[in-house]
Structure 1
Amino acid sequence: MPWASRHRGSPPADDEENAGGLVSVLVARRHRWERVSVCGFLADVYCLGVKNAFGPDIRTDVELSQLVPEYYAAYPAGWQDAPIGLAADIVFGAVEYARGLGFEPHADFVRAAAQLGAWDGPPAITFGRDGKPFYQSGPYDNPRKVIETLEHPVGPPPAFDYLVVGRA
Structure 2
Amino acid sequence: MSRNENRRRKKLESRKRRSQEKKKVAARRSSLGIPYAMKLAASWPVMNAMVSDIESNAGMKVALLARKNAAGRVVGTVFLVDMYCLGVKNVKLFDGTGSDWRSYLEAMSEQHDFTTVEPEYVCKLVQGSVAYAKSFGLSPAPDYHRALPIFGDLDPDNCLTEFEFGDNGKPLYIAGPYEDEARQMLIMDTLARSVGESNFDFVLPVAGPPADDFEFDDGFGIDEEEDSDGLDEAEVRVIESAENS
Question: TM-score, structure 1 length as denominator?
Answer: 0.83
**In the alignment, residue 150 of structure 2 is paired with which amino acid?**
Q
Q: 2:127 aligns with which of 59, 76, 92?
A: 92
Runs (4+) of structure 1 exceeding 2 A deviation are 69-75, 117-124
Contact 1:24–1:72 (CA under 8 A) maintained in structure 2: no
- The Cα of 1:40 is off from its aligned counterpart by 1.0
Number of the residue aligned with 2:31: none
2:171 equivalent to 1:124: no
1:37 to 75, 78, 91: 75
In structure 2, the residue matched to 1:148 is 189
Given candidates 88, 96, 120, the residue that maps to 1:59 is 96
CA contact (8 A) 1:102 1:153 kept: yes
Output one character per residue of 1:49-79: Cα deviation in whole Å (capped at 9) or x when no partner.
1111122x3221111111113234433xx21
Aligned counterparts of 1:106 and 1:95: Cα–Cα separation in 2 = 10
| Structure 1 gap ranges (5+) | none
The residue identity in structure 1 corresponding to 2:197 is P
Match for residue 160 of structure 1?
200
Does the residue aligned with 1:69 lie in a helix, a strand or coil?
Answer: helix
Larger Rg: 2
Instruction: State the secondary structure of the residue aligned to 1:102.
Output: coil
What is the RMSD of the two structures over their aligned residues, measured on CA atoms? Answer: 2.1
Corresponding position: 1:3 with 2:50: yes
Do structure 1's residue 68 and structure 2's residue 105 form an aligned pair?
yes
Give the match's secondary structure for 1:32.
Answer: coil
- In the alignment, the residues of structure 2 paired with residue 66 and residue 96 of structure 1 have an alpha-carbon distance, to the nearest angstrom, of 32
More strand by share: 1
Q: Secondary structure at the match of 2:107?
A: helix
**Structure in which a larger fraction of residues adopt helix:** 2
SS in 1 for 2:205: coil
1:102 maps onto 2:137 in alignment: yes
User: How many residues in Structure 1 have an aligned counterpart in Structure 2?
Assistant: 155
